[in-house]
């Protein structure tokens, strides 16, 4: 069909928002066109897929403007179940469409305060209703359409389900029966009440939507259709966007220091525990600037202060308005409100002590500022940005603390969020340096402008992909601040987030290619074998991705002792003999061995490595063996399957712990691109390769004074992207 691009709404809206990227409007036009061309039934809505804080809202509002020029009469915008976000959405829509509201071409209502019915005259104007995904909101909306104003049910309606994976879909098993979640059931019913309705979902975390079964029978509804998208339009992401690829992509995990990996600062898991509650056994207020118990937390606060001051200095030098140069920092480590109160006291005390010490000429405070300055100067130089002198920065930090440039706000309720939101829907920055402390309420839809520091410590028993990604408030259009941005978390949390980014990239690649065919989905069967499965059998929280050249290796372990009850000396000596016989050490080329032999070697190595530290992520040995099994059967020639390349090296001296200036806590690269990478590029084309790197294990390198083997599995170049899970949904 031919869209009307010259109506009353869309041209004026585009002119008002001419600063938007043209790709945003092109995406809106494609989306409206597909809404007309595709039957977006109750079980097959359209999908607008963006990234966290990438501009999804501006895109769907552009869709609304164009839809109103193309015979849509009513729009319903469903938001997360949060009063603050309803207010935010209402303010944003009212601001974007202010000209049309003033001309009486459009009215916008919060469904809970809208009239109970509408006259024929009122229905001549376009209408937008904002509703929470909450039973009373949805009931009132359904009653309006079906009972008090039935004329609406025959009008052309566009439902926009913002954060569509949140409360909109789902079902659970209760007493052996599968039941639809209440909100999902209500939304499904609402969609069916409108004769001429299109449905558009908007989200950045689509996993629960795309990975649903095609159909499911539930016990608490006569008819219930899972929500699986009929089409997907990708929200354009400009180069100025900073997302998971920056924080957890290839550069973020490179060996050599770079702008991406220097963002990361590891925090000990024990420090995160200390932020739960005050404990006089270790907390001495007078030692807050020196105690090792809060090393990461202290560095985060000081570096944020220094980073904000540097941005202000450079901004003022560039002619920017000093009053507008404001920056934010987020502490999100606990959900409990009691913990937030303790963190607020602790943060205030840090700032007070820093202020007192720096003005008294205390060398401790000067050294803290100097350490942060040197950290930031390194990345500023890498990014080609000005680096003010240390003396200038120190002087400005003193003035900032003296003039109360730092404010601290605890945000742990909808009321707190509502009070702090500005007219654009962002948390209001009251001063040049704003520190926010909060929990779950600071996820979806809440934006912190100019965020240059994020201290993250949420540690659920099982990391849920969509939840953790929505916590990632450091994503967004922050390229100009990247050089002074820092992210603080424990190594095992970062490892989980890294796996999630890999999964996200894999699934998005499949969606961009037009479906699931671009990615293989596999799972572990009951007998331990690896078998193909449909996407809806994958539990997102327990996945790992396999792709060309992907490395799988244990990180953060400690070697065993040579002798004693659990001594590993005899095992290592036996492995030495086996490898000398089969492939030798430091050979020019790898040796081809059977898959069974490679699996046996891994099983012999497993009991020699111990995961004792809270900071370390336990290695999934069974998952690694399953992954190797999968990789070994990918060869296009069936006669060449179930084989693995094997290469061993000895006399290696990798350290256990990374240097203090590193982005990691533990060494993550016992292999190197110069040696092992070259071998993989030459040989691991159609076969996976298993590296066995014999370490001397010296005590000065952090080990226990005995040799051990560090295994590294590397996927071959010609392997399809695969998503694998050890745990699965019931058959």
Q: What is the pLDDT of residue 626?
A: 85
Mean pLDDT estimate for the chain: 86
User: By the 8 A CB rule, do 136 and 112 touch?
Assistant: yes
Which is more confidently placed, 146 or 643?
643
**Three-class SS string for 113-140?**
HCCCCCCCCHHHCEEEEEEECCHHHHHH
CA distance 349 to 346: 5
Q: What is the pLDDT of residue 540?
A: 55
177, pLDDT greater than 50: no
Candidate from 266-275, 506-515, 644-653, 708-717 with smallest mean pLDDT:
506-515
649, pLDDT greater than 90: yes
**Residues 537-559: what's their mean pLDDT?**
81
Segment 280-331, tens digit of pLDDT:
888 888 899 999 999 999 999 999 999 999 999 999 999 999 999 999 999 9
pLDDT grade for 470, boundaries at 50, 70 and 90? low
Candidate from 168-172, 373-377, 515-519, 615-619 with smallest mean pLDDT:
168-172
24, pLDDT greater than 90: yes
pLDDT grade for 176, boundaries at 50, 70 and 90? very low
Residues whose CB is less than 8 angstroms from the CB of residue 478 and which lie 6 or more positions away in sequence, other chains included: 242, 450, 451, 452, 485
Of all residues in the chain, what percent carry a pLDDT higher than 90? 53
137, pLDDT greater than 80: yes
729, pLDDT greater than 90: no
Strands 406-411 and 433-438: parallel
pLDDT grade for 1, boundaries at 50, 70 and 90? low
List the domains of the chain with CATH numbers: 10-234 (3.40.50.300), 263-490 (no CATH), 519-725 (no CATH)
User: pTM of the full predicted structure?
Assistant: 0.79
CB-based burial label for 491 (10 Å; 0-12, 13-18, 19+) = buried
222, pLDDT greater than 70: no
Segment 409-440, tens digit of pLDDT:
888 766 677 777 776 667 788 999 999 998 76
Instruction: Return the bridge partners of 520, or none.
Output: 722
Instruction: Return the bridge partners of 203, or none.
Output: 49
| Torsion angles phi and psi, residue 274, rounded to 5 | -70, -15
Q: Which of 608, 600, 610 is nearest to 646 (CA)?
A: 600
């Amino acid at each position: 069909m031919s869209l009307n691009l010259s109506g009353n709404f869309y041209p004026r809206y585009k002119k008002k928002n001419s600063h938007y990227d043209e790709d945003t409007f092109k995406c809106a036009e494609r989306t409206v066109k597909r809404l007309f061309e595709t039957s977006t039934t109750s079980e097959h809505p359209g999908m607008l897929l963006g990234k966290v804080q990438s501009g999804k809202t501006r895109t769907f509002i552009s869709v609304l403007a164009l839809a109103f020029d193309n015979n849509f009469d009513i729009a319903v915008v469903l938001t997360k179940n949060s009063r603050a976000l309803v207010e935010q959405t209402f303010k944003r829509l009212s601001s974007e469409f202010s000209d049309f509201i003033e001309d009486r071409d459009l009215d916008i209502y919060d469904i809970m305060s809208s009239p109970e019915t509408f006259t024929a005259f009122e229905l001549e104007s376009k209408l937008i209703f904002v509703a929470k995904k909450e039973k009373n909101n949805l009931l009132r909306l359904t009653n309006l359409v079906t009972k008090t104003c039935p004329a609406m049910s025959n009008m052309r309606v566009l439902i926009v389900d913002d954060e569509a994976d949140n409360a909109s879909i789902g079902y659970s098993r209760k007493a052996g029966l599968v039941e639809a979640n209440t909100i999902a059931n209500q939304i499904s019913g609402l969609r069916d009440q409108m004769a001429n309705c299109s449905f558009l979902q908007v989200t950045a975390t689509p996993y629960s939507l795309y990975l649903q079964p095609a159909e499911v029978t539930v016990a608490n509804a006569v008819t219930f259709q899972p929500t699986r998208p009929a089409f997907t339009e990708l929200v354009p992401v400009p180069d100025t966007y900073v997302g998971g690829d920056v924080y957890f992509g290839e550069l973020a995990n490179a060996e050599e220091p770079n702008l991406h990996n220097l963002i990361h600062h590891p925090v000990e898991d024990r420090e995160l525990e200390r932020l739960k509650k005050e404990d006089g056994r270790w907390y001495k207020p007078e030692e807050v600037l020196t105690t090792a118990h809060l090393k990461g937390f202290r560095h985060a606060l000081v570096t944020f202060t220094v980073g904000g001051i540097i941005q202000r200095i450079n901004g003022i030098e560039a002619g920017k308005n000093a009053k507008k140069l404001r920056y934010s920092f987020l502490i999100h480590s606990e959900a409990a409100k009691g913990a937030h109160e303790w963190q607020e006291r602790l943060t205030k005390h840090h700032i007070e002590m820093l202020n007192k010490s720096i003005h008294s000429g205390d060398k401790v405070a000067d050294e803290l500022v100097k350490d942060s300055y040197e950290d930031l100067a390194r990345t500023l130089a890498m990014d080609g940005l000005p680096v003010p002198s240390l003396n200038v920065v120190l002087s400005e930090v003193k003035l900032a603390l003296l003039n109360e440039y730092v404010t601290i706000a605890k945000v742990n309720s909808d009321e707190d969020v509502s009070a702090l939101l500005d007219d654009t829907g962002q948390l209001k920055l009251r001063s040049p340096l704003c520190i926010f402390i909060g929990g779950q309420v600071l996820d979806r839809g809440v934006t912190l402008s100019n965020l240059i520091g994020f201290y993250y410590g949420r540690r659920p028993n099982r990391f849920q992909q969509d939840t953790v990604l929505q916590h990632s408030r450091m994503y967004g259009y922050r390229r100009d601040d990247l050089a002074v941005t820092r992210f603080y978390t424990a190594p095992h949390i970062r490892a989980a987030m890294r796996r999630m980014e890999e999964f996200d990239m894999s699934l998005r690649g499949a969606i961009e290619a037009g479906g699931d065919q671009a990615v293989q989905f596999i799972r572990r069967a009951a007998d331990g074998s690896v078998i193909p499965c449909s996407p809806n059998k994958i539990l997102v929280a327990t996945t790992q991705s396999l792709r060309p050249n992907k490395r799988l290796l244990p990180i953060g372990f400690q070697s065993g002792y040579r002798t004693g009850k659990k001594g590993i000396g005899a095992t290592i000596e036996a492995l030495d003999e086996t490898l000398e016989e089969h492939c030798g050490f430091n050979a020019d080329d790898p040796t081809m061995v059977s898959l069974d032999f490679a699996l046996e070697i891994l099983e012999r190595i497993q009991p020699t490595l111990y995961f004792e530290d809270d900071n370390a992520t336990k290695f999934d040995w069974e998952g690694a063996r399953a992954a190797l099994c999968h990789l070994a059967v990918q060869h296009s020639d069936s006669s060449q399957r179930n084989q693995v390349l094997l290469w061993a090296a000895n006399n290696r001296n990798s350290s256990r712990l990374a240097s203090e200036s590193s982005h990691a806590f533990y060494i993550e690269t016992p292999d190197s691109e110069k040696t092992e990478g070259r071998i993989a590029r030459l040989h691991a084309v159609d076969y996976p390769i298993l590296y066995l790197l014999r370490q001397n294990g010296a005590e000065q390198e952090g080990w226990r004074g005995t040799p051990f083997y560090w295994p590294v599995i590397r996927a071959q170049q010609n392997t399809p992207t695969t998503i694998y899970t050890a745990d699965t949904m019931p058959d």
